[in-house]
Structure 1
Amino acid sequence: MPQVQIEGVDLELVRKNIRTIRLTVYAPDGRVRAAVPLRMPLESIQQFVVARRAWIRKHQATFAARQPAPQLRYEDNETHYYQGRGYALRLLPAVGRPQVILREEQGQLELHLPPGNTAETRAALLAAWYRARLKEQVPVLLQQWQPVVGAQAAEWGVKQMKTRWGTCNTRARRIWLNLELIKRPPQCLAYVVVHELVHLHERLHNARFWGFMDQFMPDWRQHKAELNQVALTPAMHPDAD
C-alpha cells in the first residue's frame, strides 16, 4: 500500500472506485489511511489532508493518551472488569462443569475449572461468560432505544473487534457490537447501541448524524469520552472481523 507524506502527515493512500475521499485515523497507533477516487489528482488530495490536519492530530493525540490495555494472564487475584467495575479473579477447582460465578459483594469473579487448565482455557471460559451476559443485555437496550431513535435493526451480533466498539451495515440493517463493551459501564454500551441505530438514519459521521445523537441521547459526549479513555483489550482468540 503506497505510503505518502503530506505536510508532515504520514498516511496510506488507497485509490478506489469511490466519489469522495474517506479519511480514517486508526487506534491504537494513530495510523492514517486515505481512500481516494481513482482519478483524483494528488494536489486535490493534498489540499484535503491539509484542511483536515488538525482533525487528524486531535485523534492521534486522543489515541496516544489512552490507558494501555493490560496484558492479561488469567491468574489468581488478577483484576478483570465487568460493567465498569474491577473484580479479582479467583481460580477454583470445578465440582461439575466449568463455570463463572460473579460475587458482586465480595468483588470477585470465580472461575471454576478442572485441575491442569491453561490460560487459554480460562480466557475462553471467561469470554463465553462475557458474551452470554452481553447477549442478555442487548435485547433490552434495543427494546428501549429503537422506539426513541425511530429505527430498527434487522439483525445484531457480538464479536471481538480490534479497533471499533461497534459497526453498522446500513444496507443489511445489521449491527455488530464489540464484546469488550461488557467490561465498560452500562451507559457506554447504551451509547454504542444508539450510535449504531442512528447510522440507520445517516451512514456518515456528519452534522446530520451528530444532530440525531444530540436529539436522542443528549449526554452522548460523556459516554464517548469515557470509552476513549481506554484502549481496546487484545483478545486471545479474536473473532474474524
Structure 2
Amino acid sequence: MQWLHIGELEIELHRKEIKNLHLSVLPPDGKIRVSAPVIMSDTAIRMAVISRIPWIKKQQSTFFNQSRQSVREMVSGECHYIWGKKYRLNIVATSGQHRIECSHANRLDMYVHATTSTQNKQKLLEAFYRMQLQEKLNLRCSSLLTKIGVEPSFIGIRKMKTRWGSANPLSKRIWLNLELAKKPVECLEFILVHELVHLIERHHNDRFVMYMDQFLPQWRERKALLNSLPLTS
C-alpha cells in the first residue's frame, strides 16, 4: 500500500493484478481508496483520480453531512436500535446470568451484575446483535441462495469500519457488518444480495447491475435507505 496526495486529497493506493482502476469513497469519514493495475503509472492514476474529483467531493459531502450515533455510555434511558426500531436501554441489576430482552414497550432490558463495566455491557450488546443478525440470516439465506444460484463456502459476521459487507469470489467467503442488526431488515437483504451477486460478478459493471435488478428489483431504494441512516460514531 502507498499514499498519493492530490491537492488536499489523501488517497490510499493499492496495486493489484487487475485490469481496471477502481476508486471508492468509504464511510464513515470519506476515506479515498484506489485499487490500480500493477502496470499503471502514478501519472495515469493521478489523472484518473483528478477526473473524478467532483464525484469524490460529492460522496464525501454525503458522509460528512450524515447524522451519526452518539457515543454509547450503556446507561438506562440511552437509545439503541434493533432492525431500525428505537429502544430505550433499561439496566437491571441481577445476580444471575447476564442477558438482554426486548420488551413490547420499546424497551431493551439488560440484566447485568451491579459492578459490570461499560465495556462488558457493550460486549453483551454486541453478542445480542450478533445473535439477532444470525437469526435473520438463517431465515433468509436459503431462499436467496436458491434464487441466485450460488453456494458460499462461508458467511460470517464481524465489526467492519468502512464496509457493510465483503465477498471473495475465489474462496466464496462473505462477511457482513455487525452494524446491520441496527438497520431495517431490508438493508440486510440488500447487502446480502449485493455480496452474493459478487460471487458471480466481481466488479460493479453492467452485468452486476443486471443481476441486482433481477434478484432484488428494489435494491436502489434499499441502498438509499441504508445510506440515509445514522453512521456509528
C-alpha distance in 2, partners of 1:168/1:58?
Answer: 26
* Cα separation, 1, equivalents of 2:16 and 2:149: 33
| Maintained 8 Å contact 1:156/1:175 | yes
Per the alignment, residue 90 of structure 1 pairs with 90
Shift of 1:14: 4.4
Alignment partners' CA distance in 1, 2:215 and 2:18 = 31
Q: Any gaps of 5 or more consecutive residues in structure 1?
A: 235-241
1:67-82 correspondence runs (5 A): 67-82=67-82
Residue in 2 that maps onto 1:147? 146
Please show how residues 127-146 of structure 1 align to structure 2 within 5 Å: 127-146=126-145
Task: Name which of structure 1's ranges 86-95 and 14-23 shifts more when overlaid on structure 2.
Answer: 14-23
Taking only the aligned residue pairs, the percentage that are identical comes to 36
Residue pair 1:162, 1:232 contacting (<8 A) in 2 also: no
Structure 1 residue 70, shift from structure 2 partner: 1.7
Contact in 2 for aligned 1:28/1:163 (Cα 8 Å): yes
Runs of at least 4 residues off by over 6 Å: none
Residue pair 1:163, 1:232 contacting (<8 A) in 2 also: no
Asked if 2 retains the 8 angstrom alpha-carbon contact of 1:69 and 1:230, the reply is: no
- Alpha carbon RMSD of aligned pairs, Å? 1.9
Indicate if the aligned counterparts of 2:3 and 2:10 stay in contact, CA closer than 8 A.
Answer: no
- Does the Cα contact within 8 Å between 1:25 and 1:31 map onto a contact in 2? yes
CA distance 1:33–1:55, shift in 2 (3 Å): same
CA shift digits 1:138-157 (9 cap, x unpaired): 02111121122222212111
How far is the alpha carbon of 1:9 from its aligned partner? 4.7
AA paired with 1:4? H
Distance in 1 separating the partners of 2:170 and 2:14: 24
The yes-or-no answer on 1:216 pairing with 2:215 is yes
2:188 corresponds to which residue? 189
Q: Deviations over 1:2-40 (max 9, x none)?
A: 33216x754234445544323221222222232333442
Deviation of residue 87 (structure 1)? 0.3
Deviations 1:119-160 (A, max 9, x none): 111111111111111111102111121122222212111111
TM-score by length of 1: 0.88
- Kindly indicate whether the alpha-carbon contact (under 8 Å) linking 1:4 and 1:13 is maintained by their aligned counterparts in 2: no
Q: Which letter does structure 2 place at the counterpart of 1:102?
A: C
Change (3 A) 1:38 1:192: closer
Take 2:160 and 2:30, find their aligned partners in 1: how far apart are those partners? 17
The number of aligned residues is 232
Shift, 1:67, TM fit: 0.9
Residue ranges of structure 2 left out of the alignment (5+ in a row):
none
Structure 1 residue 46: Cα displacement: 3.2
Q: In 2 relative to 1, CA 196–30 (structure 1 residues): closer, same or farther, beyond 3 Å?
A: same
- 2:26 is matched with which residue? 26
Compute the TM-score of the two structures, normalised by the length of structure 2: 0.91
